[in-house]
Each structure stands twice: as structure tokens, then as C-alpha cells.
């Protein structure tokens, strides 16, 4: 199926998602497959993964890693523009690495706790928080995490984004042009990229995942078709020498992003075909689908389970007659 086919349906399906965070999407699909064992999901706060480090990517852009993922800081004469705030436990470590510089703008790539846990702290210190509209809705609402069978309380009001957008947003910080854009249903339903155009650094959130298994937060609207489309959008923006920064893992080149896209596209083609023929995540695992790509999955069944959940929610995008 062509990208435009996937996207045109998805654009239409966006109408009326405002109440998404509180909507119980579960129910009828829950019994169709064995749920993966309950372990902390993407929406849970991760433990620290290693030492906190700060690396200069360009004259103005610094990468702070290990909080527990990546946070990007752009220095400007007016203060710092931050992409993601780290987990609640590690936000102080982020601030420490800024050396006392004031953050005037914080941009969230999506709602997960590892990226938004420091929102309250930075907001109280004077930062204005920007995000996609749907990310703000998740942060403002209690939500259920099916993989862990638990509820997460809404973040305090100080942590809520106050400047939101749906498609694109732009701003200047000193000499730097900053562009943000929607990545439709790539990992959640509120993912964005942040492109520091003059520094040539592209933050892609959890839409690329060179280190951890790619996560599809299907309960929040992410699915494999959306992810493939979003990666194509990112490839259109990135130049050969753009520094591409995922939420977890090392800085990527465009060629590495292209390779990850090609892997996900192959898995999209294979798993949609199998879903069309009524196959389950377990069937896909036994058929060796993940062995067809050059990637070691740490939890292959969980990845395929999440792929299938997303496919069922979007089956009219690629088939429409699952047998």
C-alpha cells in the first residue's frame, strides 16, 4: 500500500480525537491474543541507564545523555531552548549540566514520562512549554497503561504545555531557526520532530530507535504504518550531514535513519500481509519475521504484539478484510 493511502485515512481519522486520553480503547480486542508479560512499558519512567554526560554537537547545541534518555539544549542570547526535560528523577541532573543557564523554552517530543518528567521543575523556573496538542492532552489527564495494568495520574498543572500546535510550529532563538512538525501516529499520537535548521540538528523523539526495541505505544495511537510514514517525512528533512538525535541511543546519520526506515518498511509489509491472513503475533514470531531484518530484538514477542494491536486498530488502511 502506498504511503498516501495510509496517510489520507489517518488524516481523516484525526477528527474528534480530543477525548482520546480518557477513552477506553481496550475492551473487545483484549482477549484476542495473549498479552505480553507485565513489565515496565514505554510510558513508565525508566531507571537511569548510565552516567549523565554532556556532549557538544555544534557550537550552540549540546546533547545531555543518560537522563535517562537524550535531552538537547540550544544556547541562545535569551537563554536555553530544551528538547525534552528528562525523567522526574533526573531533571535536576539536566539543570546541573546547563551550568545555571535559564531555560526559556522547553519543547516536548511526546508525552512519555522519560521526556516530560522534568516539565514541572523547568516550568517553575520560568520555561514556557511547547508540544503537540495531543501530547498536552495526555499530560493533563489520568491515563491507563495496559501493559502494566496501572493508572498514571495527570501531571501537575505547572507541567502542562501552554503553547501547542497540530501541524507545524516555528520560532527563532537568537540566530537559530527552529521548526517543529507533527509525526502522525509514529510512536504515540502526539509525536513531533524539532529541527534546529542553522545548526543542522534534528531531534526525532522516539520515532527512531537505534538502541532499544522500537516502541509502538498503540494505546496512545502509535502504529507501524504511521511510523514508516513519519520516518519518510524525517528523511525528507534530513541532509546527509544532519545530526539526528533519537530519545535513546547514539546520534544517527541520515544513512542510519534510512536503514532503520527500510527495516521497518519490510516489517510493515510482512506483518500487514500476515495480519490480512488472520495471523497472530505468535504466528509471526514462529514464522521468523523478525529474523528477516538485521536487528536483534530484546523482546521480539512484545514488539510483534504491539505491531498487531496497531494493525487491528488500522486494518482498513491496508486490508479491511482480516480473515
| 8 A C-beta contact, residue 48 and residue 183 | no
Listed ranges 19-27, 127-135, 178-186, 203-211: which one lies at the site for Zn ion (CB under 5 A) = 203-211
Listed ranges 83-91, 206-214, 261-269, 298-306: which one lies at the site for Zn ion (CB under 5 A) = 206-214
Minimum distance, C-beta of residue 235 to Zn ion, in the bound complex (Å): 20
Residue 54 pairs with which residues in a beta bridge? 64
Q: What angle do CA 251, 235, 70 make, to 5 degrees?
A: 25
Sign of CA dihedral 178, 262, 313, 297: negative
Listed ranges 11-19, 109-117, 256-264, 265-273: which one lies at the site for Zn ion (CB under 5 A) = 109-117
Residue of the chain from 7, 95, 112, 130 that contacts Zn ion (CB under 5 A): 112
Nearer to Zn ion, 68 or 181 (CB): 68
Assign residue 94 a region (left: φ > 0; alpha: ψ between -120 and 50; beta: otherwise).
alpha
Listed ranges 108-116, 155-163, 231-239, 250-258: which one lies at the site for Zn ion (CB under 5 A) = 108-116
Per the structure block, which three cell numbers stand in for 71?
535531552
Q: Could you tell me how many residues of this chain bind Zn ion (CB under 5 A)?
A: 3
Give me the 10-49 binding string for Zn ion, x by CB under 5 A, dash otherwise.
--------------------------------x-------
Residue by residue, DSSP assigns 241-302 as T-EEEESSSS-B-HHHHHHHHHHHHHHHHHHHHHHHTT--HHHHHHTTGGGGSS---SSHHH
Minimum distance, C-beta of residue 252 to Zn ion, in the bound complex (Å): 16
Minimum distance, C-beta of residue 76 to Zn ion, in the bound complex (Å): 27
Q: Does 314 bind Zn ion (CB under 5 A)?
A: no
* Cα 3 to Cα 235: distance, rounded to the nearest angstrom: 14
| 8 A C-beta contact, residue 216 and residue 302 | no
* Cα 6 to Cα 226: distance, rounded to the nearest angstrom: 8
Alpha helices of 165-211 — where are they, by DSSP H? Answer: none
* Cα 209 to Cα 249: distance, rounded to the nearest angstrom: 7
Minimum distance, C-beta of residue 172 to Zn ion, in the bound complex (Å): 28
Nearer to Zn ion, 188 or 275 (CB): 188
* Cα 318 to Cα 129: distance, rounded to the nearest angstrom: 37
Listed ranges 44-52, 201-209, 254-262, 279-287: which one lies at the site for Zn ion (CB under 5 A) = 201-209
Residue of the chain from 176, 198, 206, 229 that contacts Zn ion (CB under 5 A): 206
Minimum distance, C-beta of residue 186 to Zn ion, in the bound complex (Å): 10
Minimum distance, C-beta of residue 7 to Zn ion, in the bound complex (Å): 22
Contacting residues toward Zn ion, per CB under 5 A: 42, 112, 206
Amino acid at each position: 500500500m502506498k504511503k498516501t493511502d495510509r496517510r489520507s485515512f489517518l488524516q481523516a481519522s484525526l477528527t474528534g480525537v480530543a477525548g482520546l486520553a480518557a477513552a477506553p480503547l481496550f475492551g473487545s480486542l483484549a482477549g484476542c491474543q495473549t498479552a505480553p508479560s507485565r513489565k515496565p512499558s514505554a510510558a513508565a519512567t525508566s531507571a537511569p541507564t548510565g552516567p549523565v554526560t554532556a556532549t557538544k554537537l555544534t557550537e550552540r547545541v549540546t546533547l545531555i545523555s543518560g537522563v535517562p534518555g537524550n535531552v538537547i539544549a540550544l544556547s541562545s542570547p535569551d537563554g536555553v531552548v530544551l528538547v525534552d526535560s528528562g525523567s522526574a528523577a533526573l531533571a535536576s541532573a539536566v539543570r546541573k549540566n546547563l551550568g545555571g543557564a535559564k531555560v526559556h523554552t522547553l519543547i516536548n517530543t511526546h508525552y512519555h514520562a522519560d521526556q516530560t518528567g522534568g516539565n514541572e521543575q523547568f516550568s517553575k523556573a520560568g520555561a514556557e512549554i511547547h508540544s503537540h496538542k495531543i501530547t498536552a492532552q495526555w499530560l493533563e489527564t489520568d491515563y491507563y497503561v495496559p501493559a502494566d495494568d496501572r493508572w498514571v495520574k495527570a501531571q501537575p498543572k505547572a507541567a502542562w504545555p501552554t503553547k501547542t500546535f497540530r501541524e507545524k510550529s516555528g520560532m527563532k532563538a537568537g540566530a537559530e531557526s527552529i521548526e517543529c512538525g507533527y509525526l502522525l501516529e509514529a510512536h504515540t499520537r502526539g509525536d513531533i520532530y524539532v529541527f534546529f535548521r542553522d545548526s543542522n540538528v534534528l531531534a526525532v523523539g522516539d520515532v527512531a530507535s537505534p538502541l532499544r526495541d522500537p516502541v509502538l505505544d498503540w494505546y496512545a495511537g502509535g502504529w507501524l504504518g504511521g511510523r514508516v510514514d513519519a520516518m519518510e517525512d524525517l528523511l525528507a528533512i534530513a541532509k546527509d550531514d544532519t545530526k539526528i538525535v533519537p530519545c535513546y541511543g547514539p546520534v544517527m546519520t541520515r544513512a542510519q535513519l534510512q536503514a532503520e526506515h527500510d527495516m521497518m518498511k519490510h516489517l510493515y509489509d510482512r506483518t500487514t500481509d500476515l495480519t490480512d491472513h488472520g495471523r497472530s503475533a505468535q504466528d509471526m514470531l514462529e514464522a521468523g519475521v523478525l529474523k528477516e531484518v538485521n536487528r536483534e530484538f530484546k523482546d521480539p514477542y512484545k514488539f510483534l504484539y504491539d505491531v498487531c494491536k496497531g494493525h487491528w486498530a488500522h486494518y482498513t488502511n491496508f486490508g479491511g478484510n482480516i480473515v
